[in-house]
Homo-oligomer: A and B are copies of this chain.
Amino acid sequence: MAEYIESLQRLAEQFGRLQGIGKKNAMKMAFSVLDMTDEDAAAFAQAIIEAKEKIHLCPICQNLTDRDICPICDDETRDRKTVCIVSDARVVISMEKVREYKGLYHVLHGVISPMNGTTPDKLKIKELLERINEGEIEEAIVATNPTVEGEATAMYISRLLKNFDIKVTRLAYGVPMGSDLEYADEVTLYRALEGRRDL
């Protein structure tokens, strides 16, 4: 496909390496770049370089940031007694969109998955324990995904946190808003029943 325009092919391959992008879409995107002005294409390339250069981990919460300390950790108005433990930076963005949570975060950068070689020491668990050891945190909300690996990670962390005098909670399980109970899977329905609340 387009083998005869080498630089186009190369660009399409680059797009194809991005998560979730198939061959056809990659080629579409490469053509999009050709439709750009020279300045726009240069700005695009620059944005890639800059993002890689500037973005690093916040030394406190391990979230991605392009400042010394991320704006969340740096925000004095936030509740510094609560920390929400998430598997990766994407979840922080989702949580922030809710605009309800006012505490801090801790990004693990993965979940325990022996199959994929992700052992606990590869996650930012040591950094979490150090933070909690400082004594300011009173509640840790474990917000890993409700999957086998996410659950295992949550269990592992909650056991470690038992050594500290803090409250450890987990996000509620249940049926998602707007969903159709007819199509809900058994495990979710079971969890929703189990966690039922008074009206």
Contacts and interface: CB of A to CB of B under 8 A. Distances in A.
A55 interface: yes
Contacts of A36: 17, 52
B51 A48 contact: no
A66 B96 CA distance: 46
Interface string A35-64: 110101111111111111111000000001
A10 interface: yes
A25 interface: yes
A135 to B, nearest CB: 27
Contact of A89 (B1, B19, B28, B31): B31
Given A11-B47, A55-B7, A28 B20 contact: yes
22 contacts: A2-B93, A4-B71, A5-B70, A6-B66, A7-B51, A10-B50, A11-B48, A13-B47, A14-B43, A17-B40, A18-B28, A18-B29, A19-B28, A34-B51, A34-B52, A34-B55, A36-B52, A41-B48, A41-B49, A42-B52, A45-B46, A45-B48
Interface of A: 1-2, 4-8, 10-11, 13-14, 17-21, 25, 27-36, 38, 40-55, 64-66, 70-72, 89-90, 93, 96-97
